[in-house]
Amino acid sequence: MEKVSITKFSNLTMMLSPLVPLSLVFIVVCSSSSLWAATSSSIKHEEFLQCLLHHSPDTSSINKLVHTPINSSFSTLFNFPTRNSRFSTPNTPKPLLIITPSNISHIQAAVICSKSHGLQIRIRSGGHDFEGLSYVAYHRFIVVDLINLRSVTVDVEQSTAWVQSGATLGELYYKIGKKSRTLGFPAGICPTVGVGGHFSGGGYGSLLRKYGVAADNVIDAYLVDANGEFHDRESMGEDLFWAIRGGGGGSFGVVVAWKVKLVPVPASVTICSAKRSVEEEAIKLIDRWQYVANKLEEDLFLAILWNGGKVSAQGGGKINPIALFFPLFLGNVNELMAILNKTFPELGFTKEECKEKSWIESAASAANRFQIEDQPLEALLNRTPINHGSSFKLKSDYVKEPMTKTAIEGIWKRLESQDIEGVTLALIPYGGRMSRISESNIPFSHRAGILYQIGYILGWDEKGVEAEERHLNWIREIYSYMTPFVSKSPRTAYVNYRDLDIGSNNKYGKINYKQACVFGSKYFGNNFNRLVKVKTKVDPYNFFWHEQSIPLSSNL
C-alpha cells in the first residue's frame, strides 16, 4: 500500500473538481496515512452501490458486476488483462472497485455515481495500454472494465459490423472470418489488443497501405459522455465523432461500440516470413527496404521486425540481431514473386518462405509470432497474450528520409546488447492509401511524407528495480541516438504506443500545460488544437482525465 505524503495530498486537493463535495475532502484529510487502504473502506461501498442501483434500470445484475478488494474476483480481474507487469506490483495503486458493466445503463450509472462521489474513472477495454493508464491512477478511482461488452455483429450484405469496445481484435477478425472469406478489417496484428483503446488511437496493421488505419474505417459509434448521457454519431455531433477516431482513449467519454466498414480482401492472400541475420547482408537489405517498401503497390505490405537482445543469443553467447521480413500480399504467391523480383530482388525470397491462405488464416498465423504455418482460427479468441507477465517499455518514431547506412549499423550494434532481454524494432512501411488521406481527416495525423514508422518494443521478465532501470536506460539511449534520423519539430509519435517520457499531465492531477502541448503536438500534429476545443466543449469539468488526456483550452 502506498503511503500518501503531504505533498501528494496538496496536489490532490488542487485537482478536486468543483463537483466534489466538501465532505469528501474532509474524509481524505482525516484518513490515515494510507489513502488507498483508508478510502477503500471509507468509500462506503454500500452508498456507491445504492447510487449505481438508483441509476440503473436492471437492478438485478449490478451487484454481481461490482468487484471490491474483498471479492476474490477483484485481484483476478485486476491482474488478468494487465499486459504490463511494471504496473501490477504490490505498490501499484489499486482502484477502489472494478465495475464490469453488461449494459450501457451500467456505464451511465458508473459515470454519474463516480462524479457525485468524487472518484476518477479509468476505462479499460483490452488493458494493453503500455503505461497502464487504463487501470492505474494516483487519485481515488474506479475501473470500468468492458470485458462483458464484447459482442460483434457482422452484416455481410452491407459489409459492416458493430463491435463493442470490450471485444479483442482477434474476436472481431474471427467473427468476420466465420461469415466471409472475402471481407477483412484493417486493424492491428496482435489479436489480444482491445478494440476500445486501439480504435481510439488509430490502430494500424498489415492492411494499412491499402485501407488506412482502423479509425479511418469507423462510420458510427455509441458513447457515454461526461454527464452519463448516451450518444450515437448523430447525437454526439461531427466534432466529437471526429475526436474519438484517433484522439486517444480516455479523454472524451466511454465508447461502448463502433460501427465499422469492412473491406474486401481476395479469397486467397500470401504471407511470408524470412529471417536475415548475417550482419552485412541484413544491413544492406534494411537500407534498401527504406527506398522500396513505401512505394510498392498498396496490395503489398512488407514489414520488418528487427529483433535483438539476449533472446537472440546463438550458441556461444554471441548475440545476432535478426531482421525478419514479413509481407502480406493481397494476391497469389507467383504475383508476389514477380513483383519482388522486379522491385527488391536482393531480398531473395523463395516460395518456401511464403504461403497462400485466406485473410483470416493469415491473421491467425501472424498472431503466432509472425510465422506462416497454419494455426487454428480459435487461437484468435485467446485473450491471454503470448508474453503475459512480462514488463514492457515502448517508444515510437516516424521516418521521413531514409537513414544512412551508418545509422543502421549503429542500431545493429545496440541490438547486440547483453544488457537487455528482448527488443523488437517494428519497421512499418507507410505510403499507399496512407499518403492520400488528409492529415486532418481524423486526429491520427501521420500521413503523406512518412516513409515508415518505428516501434521500439522492449520486454523483460527479470523482476526488480535494477532490471527495470537497465531496460529503461537502454531504450532511452537508443531513442536519443535516433534523434537525427527521424521526424523533427516536432518529433512525432504514435499515441497507441503510449510513452510518458515525451511529456505528461502531472500524475496527481494538475495539468502541466507546457507538457500537454508537447505530447499533444507529437501525437496529433496540427489536430491537437481541435482536440482541445472538442474536449473543452464536451467535458468542461475534465472528468475524463489521465496522464496524457487532452487538456481543456482554459488550461493552455
Ligand X SMILES: *[C@@H]1O[C@H](CO)[C@@H](O)[C@H](O)[C@H]1NC(C)=O
Residues in contact with ligand X by CB under 6 A are 57-58, 63-64, 67, 70-71, 73, 103-105, 337-338, 341
Buried b (16+ CB within 10 A) or exposed e, 478-506: bbeebeebbbeebbbbbbbbbbbebbbbe
φ, ψ (nearest 5 deg) of residue 275: -90, 135
User: Which is closer to ligand X, CB of 70 or CB of 219?
Assistant: 70
Considering the complex, state which of residue 347 and residue 457 has its C-beta at the smaller distance from ligand X: 347
203 binds, options ligand FAD, ligand X, none, Cβ within 5 to 8 A by partner type: ligand FAD
Contact status, residue 510 vs residue 15, Cβ threshold 8 Å: yes
- The binder of 245, among ligand X, ligand FAD, none, by C-beta within 5 to 8 A per type, is none
Residues 70 and 472: their CA atoms lie apart, in Å, by 35
Q: What are phi and psi of 445, to 5 degrees?
A: -105, 0
Alpha carbon distance 152, 491 (integer Å): 37
For the CA atoms of 525, 405, 205, 102, what is the dihedral angle to 10 degrees?
-70
- Spot the catalytic one: 211, 398, 456, 497: 497
Could you say which of ligand FAD, ligand X, none residue 348 binds, taking C-beta under 5 to 8 angstroms by partner kind?
A: none
Instruction: Select the binding partner of residue 209 from ligand X, ligand FAD, none (C-beta < 5 to 8 A, by kind).
Output: none
- At which residue does the C-alpha cell 537525427 appear? 484
Please give the angle made by the CA atoms of 320, 388 and 321, to the nearest 5 degrees: 10
> Minimum CB separation from ligand FAD for residue 109, in Å?
16
CB nearer ligand X, residue 97 or residue 552:
97
* Residue 357 interface partner, choices ligand X, ligand FAD, none, CB cut-off 5-8 Å depending on type: none
| Residue 500 half-sphere exposure toward CB, CA atoms < 13 A | 17
Nearer to ligand FAD, 123 or 226 (CB): 123
Q: Is 555 helix (H, G, I), strand (E, B) or coil?
A: helix
Question: Toward ligand X, which CB reaches closer, 57 or 540?
Answer: 57
Name the one residue in this structure whose C-alpha cell is 448516451. Answer: 230
DSSP run (H or E) holding 424: strand 422-429
Contact between 427 and 276 under an 8 Å Cβ cutoff? The reply is: no
User: Closest distance between ligand FAD and the C-beta of residue 187, in Å?
Assistant: 7
How many C-alpha atoms does 272 have within 13 Å on its Cβ side?
28
Cβ atoms of 19 and 118 within 8 Å: the answer is yes
What gap in Å lies between CA 294 and CA 306, rounded to an integer?
17
CB 143 within 8 A of CB 122: yes
Residue with Cβ nearer ligand X (351 or 476): 351
Tell me whether residue 134 or residue 487 sits nearer to ligand FAD (CB atom).
134
- Give which of ligand FAD, ligand X, none residue 82 binds (C-beta under 5 to 8 Å, depending on kind): none
Q: Which amino acid is at 493?
A: A
Closest of 133, 261, 258, 250 to residue 195, by C-alpha: 258
User: Residue 497 catalytic?
Assistant: yes
Distance in angstroms (rounded) separating the CA atoms of residues 265 and 551 = 40
* DSSP summary character for residue 191: T
Q: Decide whether 4 or 256 has the Cβ nearer to ligand X.
A: 256
424 DSSP β-pair partners: 307, 457
- With CB under 5 to 8 Å by kind, the binding choice for 385 among ligand X, ligand FAD, none is ligand FAD
C-alpha span between 359 and 352 (Å, rounded): 19
Sort 72 into a burial class: Cβ within 10 Å, 0-12 / 13-18 / 19+: exposed
Query: Where do contacts with ligand FAD occur on this chain (CB under 6 A)?
Result: 83, 122-130, 133-134, 146, 165, 188-190, 193-194, 196-198, 200-201, 203-205, 249-250, 254-255, 385, 496, 546
Q: How far is the CB of 392 from ligand FAD (least distance, A)?
A: 7
Q: Which does 542 bind (CB under 5 to 8 A by kind): ligand X, ligand FAD, none?
A: none
The residues that are catalytic are: 497
